Amino acid sequence: MEKTSSRRAKVVLFASRPVVTPVAGKSEEDYSVYASYRPHLTGFVGVLKVVRLTDARLLYPFDGADEIGPFSTQAAARAAAVQRGGDIVHGDLRTPEL
């Protein structure tokens, strides 16, 4: 005869995250832009993170975002990341991603 177990499956509950209502930025001060660079096989690539502070929404990087570069110098890679960050901020100010 086969022995059956009378153990029940455990229920695991996760703490729910509070629902954040998207709030569009009104000026450049409502955004944080973190720009840097990292080594790449053929030089350096820009590294960028853009956060809208009004609702803590991460605007960049997103799934499928292309690399910034490669560039031959660290300064060029960082400058390109800063430029892309500014473009994202200005674009979100014009048409907010909600």
Domain edges within the chain: 28-94
What pLDDT does 43 receive? Answer: 96
What pLDDT does 41 receive? Answer: 94
Backbone angles phi, psi at 29, to 5 degrees: -70, -15
Residue 68 has pLDDT above 90, yes or no: yes
What pLDDT does 5 receive? Answer: 63
Q: What is the mean pLDDT of the chain?
A: 91
Alpha-carbon gap, residue 70 to 91, rounded angstroms: 24
Alpha-carbon gap, residue 81 to 59, rounded angstroms: 14
Residue 1 has pLDDT above 60, yes or no: no
pLDDT digits (tens, 9 = 90+) for 4-26: 667 787 777 777 777 778 899 99
- Provide the whole-model pTM: 0.79
